[in-house]
Amino acid sequence: MAEAIDPIRAEMRLAQILGEDFLAQSPAEITPAAATAEPAKRVEFSGNLFDDVLSKTIEALEGVSRSEVYANQLVDKYLRGEAELQDVMMAQSKMSILMQLAVTTINAAVTTFKEITQMQV
């Protein structure tokens, strides 16, 4: 009998692209080998949905900021001859994907909030 195929979850796909624990590390801890060393942490919610979403959003935006700092550090290392070009390009690509995802998500959230506030009750 054929087995069902599980749908691909967005967080699983992002973890595959960006590395399992990439966003949870500080810029000093991030190395290309450490980006995929540990599995992703399970998300725990406290019960207040708005607080949970807001805190996870802030953590995600801090992760985007950390990836930008890491990419800039790699560019500086490359200019000094301490890093390889492919590492720099990979970090820049990851940072670009994270930035595009963050902007798209924020725009969708703002649009949804505007629609909700304009609803007739």
What ranges do the domains of the chain cover? 10-117
Question: Quick one: pLDDT band at residue 3, thresholds 50, 70, 90?
Answer: low
pLDDT in tens, 12-62: 655 655 555 554 544 444 444 444 445 556 666 677 777 888 888 888 899
Residue 113 has pLDDT above 60, yes or no: yes
pLDDT band of 120, cuts 50, 70, 90: confident
pLDDT digits (tens, 9 = 90+) for 51-100: 888 888 888 899 999 999 999 999 999 999 999 999 999 999 999 999 99
Quickly tell me which residue has 């069902």 as its tokens: 4
Q: Tokens 């590390």 label which residue?
A: 25
Q: Estimate the share of the chain in helix, then strand, then coil, as percent rounded to the nearest 5.
A: 65, 0, 35
d(CA 102, CA 114): 18
DSSP 8-state symbol, 42: P
